[in-house]
Amino acid sequence: MITLKDKVSAFFVFFLITTSQIGVGVLGFQSIINKYAGHDAWISLIVAAIAFSGVIWIMYRMLRHHDEGDIIAIHQFTFGKWLGGFFTVLFALYLVLMATVVLRTYVEVIQVWMFPHIDVWALLLLIIPLVYYTIAVEFRTVVGVCFLGVVYPSFLVLTLFFPIKYAEPANIMPVMDHSVVEIMQSSSLASLSFMGISALLVFYPFIRDAVKSQKFAHLANGSTMLVYLAICLVSYLYYNQMELENIIWATLELWKVIELPFMARFEYFGIATLFFSILPNVALFTWASARSLDRVFGAGHKKMAVMLLVLLFLACVVMTDRLGVNVLNDVAGKIGLILLFVYVPLLFFLNFIRRKVKQNGS
pLDDT tens per residue, range 64-117? 887 677 999 999 999 999 999 999 999 999 999 999 999 999 999 999 888 888
Q: Report all structural domains of the chain as residue ranges with CATH numbers, in order of start.
A: 4-344 (1.20.1740.10)
pLDDT at 121 over 60: yes
Find, among 71, 69, 39, the residue nearest to 239 by Cα: 39
Q: Which residues of 222-244 are buried (b: 16+ CB within 10 A; e: fewer)?
A: ebbbebbeebbbbbbbbbeeeeb
Under a CB-based contact definition with an 8 Å cutoff, are residues 332 and 192 in contact?
yes
Q: Which residues pair with 320 in a beta bridge?
A: none
pLDDT at 153 over 80: yes
Cα separation, 121 vs 119, in Å, equals 5
pLDDT averaged over every residue in the chain:
90
Residue-wise pLDDT for 211-268, tens only, equals: 899 999 999 999 999 999 999 999 999 998 888 888 889 899 899 888 877 777 888 8
Q: Please spell the DSSP secondary structure of 32-65, one letter per residue.
A: HHHHHHGGGHHHHHHHHHHHHHHHHHHHHHHHTT
Residue 295: pLDDT band with limits 50, 70, 90: very high
What pLDDT score was predicted for residue 362? 57
Does residue 163 have a cis peptide bond before it, meaning omega lies within 30 degrees of 0?
A: no
For the segment 297-317, the average pLDDT, to the nearest whole number, is 93
pLDDT at 26 over 70: yes
Cα separation, 90 vs 335, in Å, equals 11
Cα separation, 191 vs 194, in Å, equals 5
What pLDDT score was predicted for residue 360? 77
Single-letter amino acid, residue 73: A
